[in-house]
Structure 1
């Protein structure tokens, strides 16, 4: 009898489940007028952009575009589980350095773009892994130099000029004699210091970021860069600049309070400076002491489609549509994020925005962040590279050697079969 009751209960549960599913499907179909539905996931700040461009796409493709609001990185983290469960969106935005791993792991739809001429080689490199294209570029990002227009008439063009600024008594750090806050940057953060290393000839992986067996973070140039960073920590900066956890807050506050002439930062910092009513400018990062250009990571984000989408053709159409000449500029107009699309970027560069022009100029010398999964080990392995040397715990060479050793060991353990 107990078995019979259990059987009846299970039967009723299944009926209820299928009934609810059928109900849900009916509601979705009804709400979309029987049309196909394409689900687009974006953060709340990008909803207006999608709302403003979706009507033409819906009309051209006889489809309903449904917008889901979710933080980009949360959506990407959830994709490996949500996709197979049928809960993932059809298309979403993804940071370039996440595209390679998700693509190789089989979570992103491989696409064949009908147009790649609208983007440069550097842009396409960031959505391509093992010769396969997994996205369409939308935005470019890189670091720039911010400067306080009330404190310096013309922005520094060389690092020697930045060093000269440390002699200006206006930037003397009261708590530590002989120290200066004229120029600040968080070189204890590998993302921030990589442009220095690369400018001296260091690199993450060989073959344009594809060969994880070839790591160039302890070559002669990289070591020279670490030594130059050490000069700033030892001769110019307050001790607090070595504290990776608090240095960024110190840098931002010092700049906002008018006690720093210049800082290196990303485009995302500009909103804080505007909010503080700071009269700031943005330019390309000054030339290094060796005469070479600072070469920070080139990043940004692009449109990608879930491998689990039931509408792969529609999904690819959306990727190209949302990043075309017109819509890429619409995105810039809405967000001030610099377009990856070349025509839209050229138009954006004519809008008299110092920050936009600075990002575009700096991007020319920037190095695409490797988008292979092994890059995850570099972030952790290199996190103390500058600190160990600048604090005097290790020589520049030893610090670089140790960082590379950790990276290689972790890659061997996790990726080499």
Structure 2
């Protein structure tokens, strides 16, 4: 599924399962959007900081340049390394190294889905220079745990409606328009994945974990309430009533059919744009149409972040560097390098972004997107998604499937907690 580095977030949710116990630290700070910095006197000269990057070559070039500039300004050295781990170790390798006392001071492009497990084990230092007001609230919420902020968002994206402009000149904005266009031009998506399905589950009134004034309750799961059941029914209808697709359509098949012009609409993220364009598709991007209840869909926001190790021996310097690698100038360079959508509110209205119709379409979708829960129990939600094909095929009714989904999630949480 990882066709571009911005897809790291969707992948990150599947890669951690067993980091356990402990607790995070508890202070917060402000000021991450501009060139603001720790005072020079608080950062010693002559030290060496290590950065582990989960981004790919296009962004790595920018990161190395920024790190060298920060190092020169402070009289320090910054060593930037490219992550080489794969598979289940792709993101957990950071935690393994930090536990061993050999981990980097800063990691960048870490998917926010992984923060909950790191936080529980006490591996994350609070992002003391992060100002939540600099970001859309739903982006800031994605890095908040225990009442404080533990990462610097550096890129944010969600899925949106991708459509073939050669066939559809004006994208649908209502459910009735969407059904009409889908019947005429075709539509698909990776229905077997909860990450994509939450557009409909949340939009129809479901929720993942109950939010009690900023604290998520993993014991209160809203994936079998009336709204979630209505969302599962919509997903089943796509297969059984409208016949737009069948349960065997996974992300690979859905992408291929859109790229080959077999369907005119497709729900996915920025990571699938380049391949479609290369295949000759005139790609348009727009917010997902309102649902049958008249409310917008609720894609999950995928944050890429910079995090600071709680074990760093040079904490003030590490915080300063993490802030510097995620400030507005840096985020704009990442966008220019590889179209990474910025997390800062100020850049989401920047002319460089808004003049790019693809980027603008995805940024507009962020207005209705919601923060992906970052608590460790979110891993259990993804592990329970194996029941979804049974709902799509009609083997389980929407209500039965929703109930089974919640039961499977609760069982996975029990296993996760030992």
Report the TM-score, using the length of structure 2 for normalisation: 0.83
Q: How many residues align?
A: 367
Q: Which residue of 2 aligns with 1:56?
A: 69
RMSD: 2.1
Cα pair 1:104 1:129 within 8 Å, conserved: no
Q: How does 1:185-196 map to 2 (within 5 A)?
A: 185-196=189-200
* Number of the residue aligned with 1:127: 143
Partner of 1:402, secondary structure, is helix
Aligned partner (choices 41, 49, 71) of residue 52 of structure 2: 41
| CA deviation string 1:385-405 (max 9, x = no partner) | 3x2222121111111111111
| Cα distance in 1, alignment partners of residues 177 and 165 from structure 2 | 16
The residue aligned with 1:204 is: 208
Greater relative contact order structure (CA < 8 Å, 6+ sep): 2
Matched, 1:242 2:253: no
Match of 2:122 in 1: 106
- CA displacement, residues 9-58 of structure 1 (integer Å, 9 cap, x when unaligned): xxxxxxxxxxxxxxxxxxxxxxxxx9211111113322111123223311
Which structure 2 residues correspond to residues 198-237 of structure 1 after superposition, within 5 A?
198-207=202-211, 210-237=216-243
Q: Distance in 1 between matches of 2:358 and 2:81?
A: 30
Larger helix share, 1 or 2? 1
Q: Please, which of 263, 266, 282 is the counterpart of residue 266 of structure 2? A: 263
- What is the match of residue 11 of structure 2? none
Instruction: Please say if residues 164 and 265 of structure 2, whose CA atoms lie closer than 8 Å, have aligned partners that are also in contact.
Output: yes
Structure 1 position 97 matched with structure 2 position 113: yes
Q: Name the CA shift for 1:89/1:348 in 2 (closer, same or farther; >3 Å).
A: farther
CA spacing shift, 1:153–1:407, aligned 2, 3 Å: same
Inter-partner Cα distance in structure 1 for 2:127 and 2:340: 24
2:360 is the alignment partner of 1:357: yes
Contact 1:194 1:297 in 2 (8 A): yes
Distance 2:202 2:123 in 1: 32
SS across alignment from 2:233: helix
**How far does the alpha carbon of each residue in 1:135-166 deviate from its partner, in whole angstroms, 9 at most, with x for none?**
11111110011111111121122232232135
Distance in 2 of aligned mates of 1:99 and 1:231? 35
Q: 1:283 to 1:349 in 2, by over 3 A?
A: farther
For 2:296, which of 278, 282, 293 is the aligned residue? 293
Partners of 1:209 and 1:83 lie apart in 2 by 27
Q: Secondary structure at the match of 2:134?
A: coil
2:405 is aligned with 1:414: no
Residues 329-374 of structure 1, C-alpha deviation per residue, up to 9 Å, x if partnerless? 1121212111111222221564421221122111111111100001
- Structure 1 range deviating more: 109-118 or 335-344: 109-118
**Partners of 2:254 and 2:417 in 1: how far apart?**
37
CA contact (8 A) 1:283 1:354 kept: no
In 1, the alpha carbon distance for the partners of 2:183 and 2:329 equals 48
- Unpaired runs of 5+ in structure 2? 1-44
1:274 CA displacement = 2.1
| 3-state SS in 2 of match to 1:288 | coil
**Inter-partner Cα distance in structure 1 for 2:368 and 2:349:** 17
How far has the Cα of 1:236 moved from its partner? 2.7
| Structure of greater Rg | 1
Contact 2:129 2:320 in 1 (8 A): no
Match of 1:87 in 2: 102
* CA-CA distance at 1:76 after TM superposition: 2.8
Which range is displaced more, 293-302 or 150-159? 150-159
Aligned to 1:327: 330
Aligned match of 1:399: 401
Q: Taking structure 1 as the reference length, what is the TM-score of the superposition?
A: 0.83
Q: Does the CA contact (< 8 Å) of 2:85 and 2:93 recur in 1?
A: no
TM-aligned CA deviation for residue 285 of structure 1: 0.8
